[in-house]
Amino acid sequence: MSRSGSAPYEQGIKLILASSSPRRQELLKGMGLDFEIIASDADETVEKNLSPREIVETLAVRKAEAVSASLPDSYAPDRTVVIGSDTIVVLGGEVLGKPRDERDALRMLSALQGQTHEVFSGVACLSADRRNVSVSHRRTKVTMKAMDEQRILRYIGTGEPSDKAGAYAIQGIGATLIEGIEGDYFNVVGLPVSLLSEMLEPFGIRVI
Q: Residue 78 catalytic?
A: no
Q: How far is CA 173 from CA 73, 154, 156, 167, 187, in A?
A: 43, 11, 10, 12, 17
Gyration radius from the chain CA atoms = 18
Q: Which of 43, 78, 86, 163 is catalytic?
A: 86
d(CA 178, CA 41): 32
Angle at 155 between CA 190 and CA 121, to 5 degrees: 15
Catalytic residue numbers read 86
